[in-house]
Amino acid sequence: MKNSKITRKITQGVYVLTTKGGGCIVDAVSRASAGEQPLITVAVAKTNHSHKLLSENDRFALSVLGKDVDPEIIETFGFKSSKDIDKCTECETTEIEGVPVVKNSLGYMVCEKVDAIDAETHTIYIGRMVEADVLEDKAPMTYAWYQEHKGDLVKVKTEENKTAWVCMACGYVYYGDEVPDDYKCPLCGLGKDYFKKKD
């Protein structure tokens, strides 16, 4: 494969996926059917702790992010693990249909999980929408816009005497003199070649 970065040109939104116990930032979301209770799909990386949480729960929510989102939401749900912190207390959420939903969002969809499809590095979860609302009528953040502006959204805090290496695909930060040759990003699964030294 010559350059898989072309996939960044696929137009997608940016969402906070939540379920009981935590959540994460996702972009591979799609409506799979129509009607009052459409089917919604979301792909979640198997390396992500939220994948484990979603496999154990029957419902999940997707909060739609706008361009003026609080950067703290991106940092908390995108670059921290639910194994280490309670993300839903770090950022303001409210519970709807038994699932936490991000308050500072354009709206949300709460879905009841109906199926899961193995997709190599990810699992595609399919949910039937049981509750939803529009909170703000603004343009949603796209994945392409996020890639272009993530340096402004995520401020890398360099640890003392350590070099910060940023994954150009998802923004995860690795600290060390060099990124190991066999290192895989714990968020998106990509290798050393995708990491760039933070100046």
The whole-number pLDDT of residue 147 equals: 78
pLDDT tens for residues 7-22?
A: 666 778 999 999 999 9
CA distance 121 to 136: 34
In this structure, which amino acid lies at residue 155?
K
The whole-number pLDDT of residue 89 equals: 82
Nearest to 78 by CA among 154, 168, 148: 154
Residue 133 has, within 13 A of its CA and on its CB side, a CA count of 8
The residue-averaged pLDDT of 52-81 equals: 90
pLDDT tens for residues 85-140?
A: 888 888 899 999 999 999 999 999 999 999 999 999 999 999 999 999 999 999 89
pLDDT tens for residues 131-156?
A: 999 999 998 999 888 878 776 676 55
The whole-number pLDDT of residue 24 equals: 93
The whole-number pLDDT of residue 173 equals: 81
3-state secondary structure the chain: CCCHHHHHHCCCECEEEEECCEEEEECCEEECCCCCCCEEEEEEECCCHHHHHHHHCCEEEEEECECCCCHHHHHHHHHCCCCCCCHHHHCCEEEECCEEEECCCCEEEEEEEEEEEEECCEEEEEEEEEEEEECCCCCECEHHHHHHHHHHHCCCCCCCCCCEEEECCCCCEEECCCCCCCCECCCCCCEHHHEEECC
